[in-house]
Amino acid sequence: MTHSTTRRAMLRGSVATAVLATAGTAAAGTAHAERQGSGPNIGILLYDGYSLLDPTGPAEVLSRLPGAKVTMIAERRGPVRTDTGDVAVVADRSIDEVGALDVLLVPGAGNRGTIAAMGNQVLLDWIRRIHRHSRWTTSVCTGSLVLASAGLLDGREATTYWASADYLESRFDVTYRPERYVRSGKIITAAGVSAGVDMALHLASLIAGDTVAKAIQLAVEYDPQPPFDSGNAAHADPRLKELALRLLAESQV
């Protein structure tokens, strides 16, 4: 089998040639090649102590929208570490460099990161400024507490991480809804961590239509089959909840 045949066989179907043509013309090496952004300009706000899947799940989905550009943004450029301290994603832009976005996504974090972000007036000011002209302002997990701290959820319905629901309602003028994601005007809040993937597919359908969103779901082979059925707090045993929160606490720095 020649190398060319090998390549051609990697993806079956009529689109394989186009796929490989794209791959073939790509810049080599690790250089950061910027794609032309004919589609939505999507910004994801990183802050110290975020939970890794909160920004990366939606980024995976939204980056497949036609012409989309996804940018990781933080107060300062550079690596931003997760709640466990184990992983860092690079913020390629500082908030000073970003004055407008089509889509803003604010991820959630562990307690330490969430509390810090809720009290960070520089971040909250930037969120308010971006929200003023965004098409969609979104959050995952305790990111809704950050949006609420910025005053964006006043009088609205929203969701959040299951263990933070009481806090959201007691602290802010927000009605908690135990849904996977909740849309209120141009704001969409998602439930905890993995819910960002479902929210992002919904958002993809709002931006580019159902067919594109369905194709993205297929592109990321999102046909979930968890080995257990224990992800919904409304049906969880109190002891399992306690263990879940203990594992979270012990894994965080």
Shortest reach from residue 240's CB to a second copy, in Å: 6
With CB under 8 A as the rule, give the number of residues binding a second copy: 119
Does 122 bind a second copy (CB under 8 A)? Our answer is no
Binding mask 130-149 for a second copy (x = CB under 8 A): -----------x--------
Q: Binding a second copy by CB under 8 A: which of 41, 126, 146, 161?
A: 161
The reply to whether 50 sits near a second copy by the rule CB under 8 A is no
- Using CB under 8 A as the binding rule, the residues of this chain from 173 to 202 that contact a second copy are 180, 191-195, 197-198, 201-202
From candidates 41, 56, 138, 144, binder to a second copy by CB under 8 A? 56
Q: How far is the CB of 128 from a second copy (least distance, A)?
A: 21
What is the closest distance, in whole angstroms, from the C-beta atom of residue 176 to a second copy in the complex?
12
Instruction: Note whether 19 binds a second copy by CB under 8 A.
Output: yes
User: Residue 121 burial by CB count (10 A; 0-12/13-18/19+): exposed, middle or buried?
Assistant: exposed
Query: Rounded to an integer, what distance in angstroms lies between the CA atom of residue 27 and that of residue 38?
Result: 20
Say whether residue 13 binds a second copy (CB under 8 A): yes
Amino acid symbol at 133: H
User: Three-state secondary structure along the chain?
Assistant: CCHHHHHHHHCCCCCHHHHHHHHHCCCCCCCCCCCCCCCCEEEEECCCCECCHHHHHHHHHHCCCCCCEEEEEECCCEEEEECCCCCEEEECEEHHHCCCCCEEEECCECHHHHHHHHCCHHHHHHHHHHHHHCCEEEEECCHHHHHHHCCCCCCEEECCCHHHHHHHHHHCCEEECCCCEEEECCEEEECCCCHHHHHHHHHHHHHHCHHHHHHHHHHCCCCCCCCCCCCCHHHCCHHHHHHHHHHHHHHCC
Determine which residue in the list 112, 122, 133, 209 makes contact with a second copy, applying CB under 8 A.
112
Active-site choice (141, 168, 208, 216): 141
Q: In angstroms, what is the minimal distance from the CB of 185 to a second copy?
A: 19
Interface with a second copy in residues 214-233 (CB under 8 A): 214-228, 230-233
Q: Is 98 one of the binding residues for a second copy (CB under 8 A)?
A: no
CB of 177 to a second copy, least distance (A): 14
Quick check: is 141 catalytic?
A: yes
Among 55-63, 94-102, 127-135, 146-154, the segment contacting a second copy (CB under 8 A): 55-63
Matching residue, tokens 């306690």: 242
Active site residues: 141
